[in-house]
Structure 1
Amino acid sequence: MSSEKPTRRGGLRIDSVFPVRQISSRGRPMDNHAPTGRGASLLDLGDQLQNLRMFLFAADAQSIAGAAKQLYKSPSAITRSIMELEKVVGVQLLERNSRGILPNAYGDVVLARSRRIEAELGQAAEDLATPRSQGTPPSPSAISHFLFNGRKLRLLIHLADSRKISTAAARLDISQSGASMALSRIEAAVGEPLFHRGMHGMIATEMADGLVMRAKRVFAELRHMLSEISMLSGSLAGSVVAGTLPLGRTYVLPMAIAATLERYPGIRVTTIENHFEQLVTDLRSGEIDAVLGVPRDESQRQGLSVEPLFLEGLRVIARAGHPIFERGAITLADLGAERWVLPWSNSLSHRLIEEAFRLEGLEPPVASVESADLQVMRQLLLSSDMLAIASPRQLSYELRSGLFLEVPVALRGTEREVALMTREGAMLSPAALAVLDAIREQATADPRRMELLVPD
């Protein structure tokens, strides 16, 4: 068992443990793999990449001897590797018969994920072997040894994220000199440096960025594999990571999570709140399974699958009892002298607000406070006569309870398409798919539809 310390990247712990029951392909506990009282973890599976590769070769060859011949290993070494893998995942993966070996239902799950891992690492090997301007590039086979090593992949991930060899070493629970030596061996295998050393730490090169992205996808495949095994064992469980932008943060996503956990209490969900560019970066690397929010222009959608859910506009919001409601008929021009809580000036919402005022021939409002924090906005509105411009879904509880009211003026052109974004080609786990289905249901079932809130 690795002694590696848990780490958090974007909210996801890569030591997350999911319950995987110890059962055989026939639904009985494995005789020589008694339950240990704990589940397989990403750290455990990360250390099994070489064994997954041997399992893949054996399953494809339908023969231990055939795999041994292709990998230049002894049949006993292949058998030990597969047995170790089965012990870690807690289930039997292969059926032995007179024709050779065949994957069972659990083996099919592991085989599918192993193929995807091999494809990611194979592409990484090709990228690393791309001819350079100087020297002879290494062959893909020459660098596969470290690519199928979970600890080396984790070293690169931690180093790229923290930019400090000392931090990466601490997260791997090894000495700094040991981490430096391991990195030097990796760079020697690749044939060039993967990190720039400078005053601001160790900055990943473009080549390292590509390798780290694929390494993160490998761990995403392992995370999904655990969920699939758990489902076959009779309990839908696993870890799901959802990125969210403000429009989905306060109602749709929380309601979807609550509905999912009511049905499947073994699922664990981590939500990540960040700016769009970082969420999409983590989505492409597999660290995030899906992002709920407003997609940006086409150039930023490359490699993403975008599923529109609903349209949402911006509204002027004030506390109940605000003096503005005593004025009778109100137009947008009547609000010029008010004090405002507005989104950040560099945000899409802020640009839409400015355009809405200009459509009416008015100067855009000047923000007294710029904030994306709903708690700040809520308290400012409750304790003053300030106005805010926000999505009704963001303040659905306050509007339903009567704490806040919509000022009856229209903001033309502020409707935005809220969508569910996933990575093209991703094969999400059953747990992640369950959360996505719940998000779709909540987007449809939300009673505060935009058309019910817009004054004519």
Structure 2
Amino acid sequence: MKWNLRHLRVFLAVVHHASVSRAAEECHLSQPAVTQAIAKLEAGFAAPLFQHKAQGLFVTDAGQALARRVRRALERIDQATAPISPRLAATATASQLQALIAVRELENFTLAAGKLGLSQPTVHRAVTRLEAEADKPLFERTAMGIRGTRACRLLAEAAQLAFAELDQAEMDLAEIAGSEVGQIVVGAMPLSRSFMLSQAIIAFRESRPSVLIRVDEGPYDDLLAGLRRGEIDVLIGALRDPLPIGDVVQEMLFEDDLILVAGPGHPLLAEAQPTLEQTADFPWILARKGTPSRGIFDQLFASRPMPQSIVETGSMILMRQLLRQSDHIGFISRLQAAAEIELGLMVPLRIDLSGTQRPIGITTRLDWIPTIAQKILIDEIKISVNLKTPSPAED
């Protein structure tokens, strides 16, 4: 849906006053202008936002759901614009803010225009108007291109979260109307992709067949940044200790331990009791530095000779091929490797790695309020974990 921020402010005024005339006074508009703004907004939804009575306009359940999201969205924009310009919150449009976000991300007007499906002059004009209202540059022009100022960064991040909130509003109102719109974006680390997500998505599809699910993959830092910008709804995988930043929260679902795996013909499989010291003579496959499992690896070899030949990857496919074709040793989650071990593609080495447990769970934004569909998917993930994770009696 194409949002009109001015119409949303008018909508909140009508919700607050239950009166077109008083909302018109607050917003410095004529009553017909307020009525038209509400009509255009209502036209975008299947469920009515107000009950029209002689005493005034009374907000419906759908209107209340929209008002909650709109307040949160506009508060973010207002807080970010206040230090820049007193008028910017009232004059900035959704199109201008979307142009700002794209230019700040890509640091180029032409690339931003391509991403938005607009012409380069249109994007340049939108950003120029924002800068004119701000009465200060939002971008620094350098020989290497353009970079957003601190004010630009704060405004772009606030606008991204505001738009994410409005996307959730569309999902909320569709739910009330008995339909499905929108998408859920999951940031998935390796374990969640192989162990947790598939069954949860299959179960989710039984009640929500039309909601798009997008699974984003990548390094933790990239996924976390996407989560904090509102591009990702929930992050699933190994939790961090300490918490990397204060605007996210973690919920542990279970603990997983790490094991060493090799290909079926690896020389150490012939050893009755191979030692960790022996593995240093072979090439290793590890997660990137900064990940919990890499930290555990560093602890294991803190007082031992460190392996000198290392491949860093989060790709299960690459690990499987390296193990199959060479004497590499993989350091991996037991649950993540379970299917490969069952198929005989990987074989655990008989080396005790007790004490390598790490917490696995979900990470969300601190003040995030999930839609019903988002909550259902998270619940299905938790159910999937409970079904697949062995109880202590089964260990």
TM-score range, shorter chain: over 0.9
TM-score (structure 1 length as normaliser): 0.81
Please state whether the residue corresponding to 2:337 is helix, strand or coil: helix
In structure 2, stretches of 5+ residues that fail to align are none
**Does 1:77 pair with 2:19?**
no
CA contact (8 A) 1:342 1:389 kept: yes
Q: In the alignment, which of 121, 127, 142 is matched to residue 177 of structure 1? A: 121
Alpha-carbon offset, residue 279 of structure 1: 2.0
* 1:240 counterpart (172, 184, 202): 184
Residue-by-residue CA offset, 1:230-271 (whole Å, 9 max, x unaligned): 211224553111112223222112332222123321221111
- What do the CA deviations read for 1:317-341 (whole angstroms, capped 9, x no partner)? 1233544333223332333323322
After superposition, residues 6-405 of structure 1 pair within 5 angstroms as 41=1, 44=2, 46=3, 48-128=4-84, 138-139=85-86, 142-147=87-92, 149-235=93-179, 237-298=181-242, 300-345=244-289, 347-358=291-302, 361-405=303-347
2:381 is aligned with what amino acid? Answer: I
Q: Deviations over 1:344-363 (max 9, x none)?
A: 345442231131133xx421
C-alpha contact (below 8 Å) 1:352/1:413 kept by paired residues: no
For residue 386 of structure 2, give the secondary structure of its aligned residue in structure 1: helix
Q: Secondary structure at the match of 2:44?
A: helix
- TM-score using structure 2 length: 0.93
> Matched residue of 1:120: which SS?
helix
Maintained 8 Å contact 1:313/1:450: no
What is the identity percentage for the equivalent residue pairs of Structure 1 and Structure 2?
28
Whether contact under 8 Å (2:82, 2:88) holds in the other structure is no
Cα pair 1:237 1:431 within 8 Å, conserved: no
Equivalent residue letter for 1:316: L
Distance 1:258 1:235 in 2: 19
Give the 3 Å change call, closer, same or farther, for CA 146–250 of structure 1 in structure 2: farther
Q: Structure 1: any 5+ residue segments left out of the alignment?
A: 1-40, 129-137
- What RMSD over aligned residues (CA atoms) do the two structures have, in Å? 2.2
Which residue number corresponds to residue 414 of structure 1?
356
- The count of residues paired between Structure 1 and Structure 2 equals 395
Tell me if 1:432 matches 2:377: no
**1:85 CA displacement:** 0.8
Alignment partners' CA distance in 2, 1:449 and 1:407? 23
Equivalent residue of 1:298, what SS?
Answer: coil
Shift of 1:70: 1.0
CA contact (8 A) 1:295 1:301 kept: no
Per the alignment, in what secondary structure is the counterpart of residue 300 of structure 1? coil
Residue 414 of structure 1 deviates from its aligned partner by 2.4
* CA distance in structure 2 between the aligned counterparts of 1:433 and 1:80, rounded to whole angstroms: 35
Task: Determine if contact 1:247/1:394 at 8 Å carries over to the other structure.
Answer: yes
Deviation at 1:173, TM superposition (A): 4.1
Structure 1 residues 423 and 378, CA gap change in structure 2 (3 angstroms): same
Q: Residue 273 of structure 1: CA displacement?
A: 1.6
Aligned partner of 1:446 in structure 2 is: 388
**Distance in 1 separating the partners of 2:309 and 2:393:** 27
Distance change >3 Å, CA 312–CA 366, structure 1 → 2: farther
